[in-house]
Amino acid sequence: MHSHDLPLEARLAGDRWAAGIRVPFGTASDRAEATGRRRSAGGLGDIRLSGLVTAWRDDAGAQLDLGLKLRLPTGDVRRGMGTGAAQVAPVLEASLPFGTAQTLDVTLERRINGGGAGTGLRDHWYATLDLGHALTPRVSVGASVVAREASVRGGGPVLEIGPTLDLRLEQGWTLGLIAYAGTTRDSAAFGAGLTLSRRFRF
């Protein structure tokens, strides 16, 4: 399967809190086993809301955040754009700067699905590890690893790895680019994403 995403994000941030919304638009394509023809679909995915508070921070910039994420079933299930069920996820995020321009970010979530057994979804652990290096005050490159348990009954775990590029634009806008390759049977074979986000500070 091949996928391409264009999530739009907005994030409000105070000194020790942050709230955000992520509105995904994307396409996905695969090859039908019966005919060998490639199938594709696109549209709005499941919207995600998040809220975080800073539980700990030191003078060097290391930080630990705790919070909650909520997924809304806004995507079309028949076209492969959504899951058809709400999801809530307690989340822990840690950020550790090191060296002169490097940062290690780790996220751990326990994703709990609504909708009952009829959806075929499983509650599961989800984790990310991102290593970033600031080339300039406006340009950062890095590598990202995404791992999760099986999210559907009968499915398998997912492990995806890829490079990242972040460009900080004017007036709080950031353009993020990522390409990734799957390393397990249930991972996407290849994917690419484009994120346009803006941060509002209070």
pTM: 0.86
Distances (CA, A) of 87 to 32, 97, 115, 159: 29, 31, 9, 21
Cβ contact 146:158 at 8 Å: yes
8 Å CB contact between 122 and 111: no
Q: Mean pLDDT of all residues in the chain?
A: 88
Q: Reduced to 3 states, what is the DSSP secondary structure of residue 118?
A: helix
Identify the CATH class of 2-201. mainly beta
Give the model confidence (pLDDT) of 67-95 as tens digits. Answer: 999 999 998 888 778 888 999 999 999 99
Average pLDDT value for residue range 171-175: 91
- pLDDT, tens digit, 9 for 90 and up, residues 149-166: 999 888 899 999 999 999
Phi and psi (nearest 5°) for 149? Answer: -70, 175
From 81, 78, 92, 94, select the one nearest 23 (Cα to Cα): 81
Tens of pLDDT, residues 97-125: 998 899 999 999 999 998 765 678 999 99
